[in-house]
Chain A
Amino acid sequence: MGVGGVIGPALLIGAGVVAPALAAGLLPRVARTATLMSLPLGISALLVNLFLLPGATEVLFRIGPLTATVEGLRFAVEILLRILAITGAITLFYLTTAPAALVLDLERRGVSPRVAFVALASVQTVPAMVERAVTITAAQRARGLDTEGSIWRRLRGVLPLAGPVLLGSIAEVEERTMALEARGFTRPGSRTLLWWPPDSTLQRLARWLLVLAVPLVIVARALGWLGWLG
């Protein structure tokens, strides 16, 4: 396992995440969020591979019965870069794409309005539930519920909050369903779209190039042309 194993993910991060994030002026936010998202998986991958990689022989250092190896470190770095490439791409996507624009574009391309609605409503529900939880927490604290202090106290405070948050959300779903039905949401057929995101020639070209690149990379990999990437 040589240095090549990190070139592929590093190139992907550079070309697919850093360059577009830089162009969008979002590099610090993307870097911060992607790093935070990668930390739990990254730390465990580092520890497991550094100390427990099967077949590794070149000793780096020892801590008691555990032996860190050079091969383990290389493999851990490779895994970390792959995780960063994935989290960086996801972060960049969410920071540059408005959910409503994504859904409208999907709908314009023939995706069912109901599927599009569920996708968007799922994204929008999270902040609404957080807001509801904050309101209920404030109301419960005003009535004497202790939600601060030791972990045990905090855990005890979760139960009186979980019930109202969940039940309130379920009741809200019922009312919202009726409101949607009353506004013709269940009508079969396509809807009239008020607007859709612009789709320039450059964007279309970039998309098609990416689509074409996928089978090309698979074939190149199968033929061994990408051996230098590790």
Chain B
Amino acid sequence: MLTFELVTYRYAGASQPSLRDVSLELREGEVLGLVGASEAGKTTLCLVASGLAPRTAGGTLTGRVLLDGEDTAPLAMHELAGRIGIAFASPATQLSGVAATVYEEVAFGPMNLGVPRRELIARTDEALAALQIEPLADRDPAQLSGGQQQLVAIAGLLALRPAHLVLDEPTAQLDPAGTEMVAAALAGLAANGASILVAEQKTDLLAGICSRIVALDGGRAVLDGLAAEILADPRLADLGVAPPAAVRLRRAAADADLPPAALARLEGALAG
């Protein structure tokens, strides 16, 4: 379980905190969606959750971040790496830059952690298969498209097999097929007990995989509840977040005063 207890974080040199008194819990097997407008604090929350802030990013943090009940403050980054993994929106900077092939790139994290060679190969094969990128295994990561690089970066994260995953707009560069693959992989991980925090603008994706949603505004958690309820909450639009297509369609249908039979067919289609 990942727990934030009244966490406030300010970047070095910043006059205002980017996160203010945030408290939340991410339980085993839960996929928590994080929404909010630009500069609402989504990326900062991801950095704090992963331990990169303040360890690598600098700045000051008050409050506590707990990982399975253990305060993460005294832990070094490499001690967190195998327990909580993070993927960023930009694929190019997530790649190690030293791997000659996609296979080596995906294996890079477990290699650093000293995972035995046999298990390293098993993890890498499994991560490649989860995102259906085995055909890319022998390619040079630097020569891939942005979308392919993002899948490779996420596969590298999966190969670490952390119990907790943090993904900051993981599908920003992906086409619909790639987005579906990532969604399926995340759902599979959650089913196996991983807890996942996803910051995303694509609320359609969140509607499909999240059980809970937290909305941020000005660094504060202003909405927190079941995914279906928060994504249908009219206040979401005021926070600069576009609701999922299904929610917008239902609203449009209600405004158009469709006959009950047509509404039922619409609901059936959306549910299907």
Binding site for B on A (CB under 8 A): 98, 100, 103, 113, 117, 120-121, 124-125, 127-128, 172, 175-194
29 A-B contact pairs sorted by A residue (CB < 8 Å): A100-B99, A121-B97, A124-B142, A125-B97, A127-B142, A172-B92, A175-B94, A178-B47, A179-B88, A181-B55, A181-B78, A182-B77, A183-B96, A183-B108, A184-B78, A184-B82, A184-B109, A184-B112, A185-B112, A186-B76, A187-B78, A187-B81, A188-B78, A189-B114, A191-B111, A191-B112, A192-B111, A192-B113, A193-B111
B45 beta carbon closer than 8 Å to chain A: no
Q: Pick the most buried of A100, A176, A178, A182: most chain B CB atoms within 10 A of its CB.
A: A182
CA separation between A127 and B97, bound complex, in Å? 11
Interface string of B53-92 (1 = CB under 8 A from A): 0011100000000000000000011100110011010101
Which A residues are in CB contact (< 8 Å) with B103? 194
- New A-B pairs, 6, CB < 8 Å, besides A124-B98, A190-B114, A194-B120: A100-B98, A128-B97, A175-B90, A178-B47, A183-B156, A184-B81
Which A residues are in CB contact (< 8 Å) with B112? 113, 183-185, 187, 191
Chain A nearest Cβ from B152, distance in angstroms: 12
- Are B120 and A192 neighbours in the complex by a CB distance under 8 Å? yes
- Are A184 and B113 neighbours in the complex by a CB distance under 8 Å? yes
- Are B56 and A184 neighbours in the complex by a CB distance under 8 Å? no
Chain B nearest Cβ from A211, distance in angstroms: 28
Q: A103 touches which one: B81, B98, B121, B160 (CB < 8 A)?
A: B98
The answer to whether residues A191 and B57 also contact, given A176-B97, A178-B52, A186-B76 and a CB cut-off of 8 A, is no
Binding site for A on B (CB under 8 A): 47, 50, 52, 55-57, 76-78, 81-82, 85-86, 88, 90, 92-100, 103-104, 107-117, 120-121, 142, 156, 160
The answer to whether residues A186 and B93 also contact, given A178-B52, A191-B111 and a CB cut-off of 8 A, is no
CA separation between A172 and B91, bound complex, in Å? 11
Chain A nearest Cβ from B128, distance in angstroms: 13
- Are A182 and B117 neighbours in the complex by a CB distance under 8 Å? no
Q: Which residue of B lies closest to A123 (CB)?
A: B98
- Are A124 and B97 neighbours in the complex by a CB distance under 8 Å? yes
Chain B nearest Cβ from A181, distance in angstroms: 5
Q: Which residue of A lies closest to B100 (CB)?
A: A100
Which A residues are in CB contact (< 8 Å) with B85? 182-183
Which A residues are in CB contact (< 8 Å) with B50? 182
Which A residues are in CB contact (< 8 Å) with B113? 184, 187, 192
Chain A nearest Cβ from B59, distance in angstroms: 13
CA separation between A30 and B78, bound complex, in Å? 43
